[in-house]
Structure 1
C-alpha cells in the first residue's frame, strides 16, 4: 500500500493541539475551583468554631468574636460568589473541550473513511491485475494444449 496522505492532516494536527490546550484550561479551571472550595470550607469551619459567643468570657472578647464572625460572614459570601464564578469557568472550559473533541473526532473519522476508500481502491486494482495474470496464464496454457 502506497503512502496515504490525508489532505486535512494539518487541520487535524491543529485541532489536536487546540484540544490539548483546552484540556489544560479545563484542568486549570477545576484546580482553581477546588482551591476556592477548600478556602470556603475553611472559612465555614472557622465560623462554626467561633460561633458560640458564650465561650468568650468577658464582654471585650465577645465583641472581638462578633466582629470576627461578621468578617467571616462577609468572607464566606465573597468566597461563595467566587466559587460560583469558578463553576461557570469550569462549565465553559468543559463545553469548549467537548467542542474541540467533536471537531477532532470528526476529522479522524473522515481520515479513516478516506483511508478505507484508498485501501479498497488499491485492493480492487490488485484484484484486476491478479485476474489479468490468471487470464494470461489460462490463455498460455490453452494455446500450448491446442
Structure 2
C-alpha cells in the first residue's frame, strides 16, 4: 500500500505558520489592552482616594490635591482613549486570526478529503487483489479435483 502525499502540504504549512503568528499578535494586543485597563483602574482608584477634599485641613493641601486630581482626570481621559484604541486593535487582530483559521481549515479539509479518498482507493485495490487471489485459488482447487 502506497503512502499518501498531500500536494498542497507547503501551502498548509504556510497557513499554519501564519495562523500561529496571528495568534501571537492577538495575544500581544490583548496583553497590551489589559495593561492599559489596569492602569486606568489604578488611576480611577487614586482619583476616588483623593476626591474627598474634606480630609485635608489646610488650604495648601487642598490646592495641591486639586491640582493632582486635575492631573488624574487628564490621565484618566488619556487612558480611556488609549484603551479604546487598544480594544480596536484587539478586535482587528481577532478578526485577522479568524480569517487565518478559516484559511488553514479550508486547506486542512481538502487534505482530509483527499486522504480519505486515497485510503478508499488503496483499500479497493487491495480488495480487488485479494479477490483475484481467492479466485485463482478456487480455480486451482477445482482443476485439481
Q: Which TM bucket (shorter chain)?
A: over 0.9
Query: Which whole-Å CA distance do the structure 2 matches of 1:23 and 1:35 have between them?
Result: 18
Aligned residues: 145
User: Is 1:58 matched up with 2:53?
Assistant: no
In structure 1, the gaps of 5 or more residues are: none
Say which SS state the counterpart of residue 7 (structure 2) adopts: coil
User: Is 1:86 matched up with 2:86?
Assistant: yes
In structure 2, the gaps of 5 or more residues are: none
Query: Which whole-Å CA distance do the structure 2 matches of 1:125 and 1:81 have between them?
Result: 66
Structure 2 partner of 1:104: 104
Query: Which whole-Å CA distance do the structure 2 matches of 1:137 and 1:3 have between them?
Result: 29
User: Is 1:29 matched up with 2:29?
Assistant: yes
Give deviations 1:37-72, integer Å, cap 9, x for gaps.
110011001100110112221112111111111111
Query: Which whole-Å CA distance do the structure 2 matches of 1:108 and 1:48 have between them?
Result: 53
Moved more, 10-19 or 55-64: 55-64
User: Is 1:136 matched up with 2:136?
Assistant: yes
TM-score by length of 1: 0.95
Dislocated runs of 4+, deviation >6 Å: none
